Each structure stands twice: as C-alpha cells, then as structure tokens.
Amino acid sequence: MNRVVCAAPLHVPRPDGPWEGVRENLADLGNAVVHTTWSEWLPTVLTSPRLHELLGEADWARYRRTPDPAVRYRFAAARLLIKFTAGAALGVPPEHLDLAYQLKGRPYLRGFDQIELSLSHTGDLMAVGLSRIGRIGVDVEPAERTVRLDLLRKQILTPAEAEEIAGMPEEERVPHALRLWTLKEAYSKAIGQGLRLAFKEFGFGPDLSLRAPDGSTAPVAGWGFVTHSVMGRYLLSIACHDTGLSTTDDTSAGSMLDRGFLSAMHQGGH
C-alpha cells in the first residue's frame, strides 16, 4: 500500500467557514484537518442562542457544571469545532450530530461508523482531524516550547533517533526532537493507546516512515505522517491511516451513517 497522504490543515476562523476545503479533502484524500483558535470561536460560545442545542445534553451539562469560565468556554469551543467540522464534511446540521466519548475519552460521532475523530489543543490553538478511511490522530504543541533535550532523549527518543539528532547542528536538535514528540503523540492517539504506548519503542526515519528502535523499518503499512507550522507559532502533527477497505468517496450522511441508525432515524420520522 502506498504512503497515505494526510491532508494539510485548514484554518477555519469561524463556524460559518470556509468549509469547502474540508469537504474536498475528505472526498479526495479520505481525511481532513482543521485548526483555529478558541478566541476566534469564543463569540459563538458567548452569543449563540443555540449553544445548548449545539452541545447536546451531555456536553451542555458538563459545560454548565464547569466552574472556571476559561475552561468552560474552551471546552464549548472545542466541541463546537468538532461538530461544525463534521457537519460541514457530512452535510449535516451540527446540532443533529451526537458527540459521544469512548472509555478512554476519545470523541466519536454516534451512528457514524466510518468516521474517526481526533482533537488536540494547546494554548489558544485547537485542531480537529476527521477520517473516513481509517484511524487519524492530531497533536499540537507550541513551536518554541522550552524542553530539555536530555530528558527527551531519555523519555521518548529511540537509539536511532538520538543518534540522528546528535549529528545535527545544535540549533536544530531541540526543534527536531519536539517534532518527533508531536508525531509520536499523534500516532499514539490514532491507534488509541495514548500515554500507554512507550515512545521509545517506536520511531521515525528521515522520510517519516515508522521505524523500530534500532532504526530498521517497522512492519506496518498504510500510514502517513506530517508536521505543519500553523498560526506562526505552533506545530501540528498528523498521523493518518488507510485500512484499504473504503469503497466510496461519498461523504454524505446517507452513505456514512450506520445503516441501523439510519433506519431508526427514518422510522422515527426525522
């Protein structure tokens, strides 16, 4: 299987878009990634008369019981970003989507069995990834984050990666290690392992292929990885997978919705 292409992240500064690129990327590449800032979406959180409806009962209850205003508004903005992004991609009003969570906290769209979601945020930045062809993970970090290279070497770098970084000019070492860190976070989120996956147990080669700790090629296929600089101050890394099972590029709700759930909707008159 050829290397999967992870869609370039698109900046969507407000709930009304622009969304055309998201629909195009999901149809053409099978995945799409959106980034924005929570302050750009804050006016919608503060002024929308539909906030309760948009969040849904469970997230509305969580929103209402969160005492810290900043945490509460960021939570709402992130959930709106997920719903508006998915709604734009699927051609469904965002308030009609039911956002739920797996036991490990990973969000998913109830009833849409082919759509994978990933959410990441840091500082003012939020990012959401969607895929209709396989797993997807996104991770964001400040590009100028202060990190100690010796700690990264001890905690996340494989021997092959540490050797590669040692041969770089000094000013390139920490930025490259930080990039590897975000890629590993994205991959671990994509496969649903989170912090349980030891980052020293897998690595990336210069071509961003998955590698074993000794630098040899890992026996996996169908993955793509990429890191982008966004908003001039953040790194956004993406891990995307193609299961090879997708048979359609139709991303309308009728084709992406679980058949049993779709039948129940029709029977209910919706």
Given a cut of 90, whether residue 195 has pLDDT beyond it is no
Rounded alpha-carbon distances, angstroms, from residue 66 to 18, 34, 103: 31, 26, 20
Task: Give the helix/strand (H/E) hosting 230.
Answer: strand 223-230
Rounded alpha-carbon distances, angstroms, from residue 157 to 130, 185, 199: 28, 12, 7
- Beta-carbon contacts of 59 under 8 Å, excluding residues fewer than 6 positions away, are 75, 76, 79, 99
User: What letters, b where the CB count within 10 A reaches 16 and e where it falls short, cover 168-181?
Assistant: eeeeebbeebbbbb
Given a cut of 80, whether residue 260 has pLDDT beyond it is no
For the segment 100-104, the average pLDDT, to the nearest whole number, is 85
Give the model's confidence band at 2: pLDDT under 50 very low, under 70 low, under 90 confident, else very high. Answer: low
For the segment 185-212, the average pLDDT, to the nearest whole number, is 86
CB of 29 within 8 A of CB of 132?
A: no
Check residue 250 and give its pLDDT: 53
* Start-to-end CA span in the chain (Å): 40
For the segment 98-118, the average pLDDT, to the nearest whole number, is 89
Check residue 99 and give its pLDDT: 94
Give the model's confidence band at 9: pLDDT under 50 very low, under 70 low, under 90 confident, else very high. Answer: very high
Question: Would the CA dihedral through 112, 117, 119, 125 be positive or negative?
Answer: negative
For the segment 144-161, the average pLDDT, to the nearest whole number, is 91
Given a cut of 90, whether residue 270 has pLDDT beyond it is no
Check residue 257 and give its pLDDT: 41
What φ, ψ does residue 35 adopt, rounded to 5°? -135, 155
Q: Kindly report the pTM of this predicted structure.
A: 0.88
Check residue 261 and give its pLDDT: 33
pLDDT tens digits for range 22-67: 999 999 999 999 999 999 999 999 999 999 999 999 999 999 999 9
Check residue 248 and give its pLDDT: 55
Given a cut of 90, whether residue 180 has pLDDT beyond it is yes
Check residue 221 and give its pLDDT: 85
Give the model's confidence band at 219: pLDDT under 50 very low, under 70 low, under 90 confident, else very high. Answer: confident
Percent of the chain with pLDDT over 90: 76
Amino acid identity of residue 62, one-letter, is R
Given a cut of 80, whether residue 265 has pLDDT beyond it is no
Would you put residue 143 in left (φ > 0), alpha (ψ -120 to 50) or beta?
alpha
pLDDT tens digits for range 225-256: 999 999 999 999 999 999 987 545 555 544 44
Check residue 259 and give its pLDDT: 40
> C-alpha angle 9/13/18, rounded to 5°?
75
Check residue 192 and give its pLDDT: 84
CB of 41 within 8 A of CB of 12?
A: no
Could you state, in order of their start, the residue ranges of all structural domains in the chain? 10-247+254-267
Given a cut of 80, whether residue 124 has pLDDT beyond it is yes
Give the model's confidence band at 217: pLDDT under 50 very low, under 70 low, under 90 confident, else very high. Answer: confident
Q: What is the mean pLDDT of the chain?
A: 88
Quick one: fold of 10-247+254-267?
Answer: Ribosomal Protein L22; Chain A (3.90.470)
Check residue 196 and give its pLDDT: 62
Given a cut of 90, whether residue 71 has pLDDT beyond it is yes
CB of 162 within 8 A of CB of 260?
A: no
CA distance 141 to 220: 26
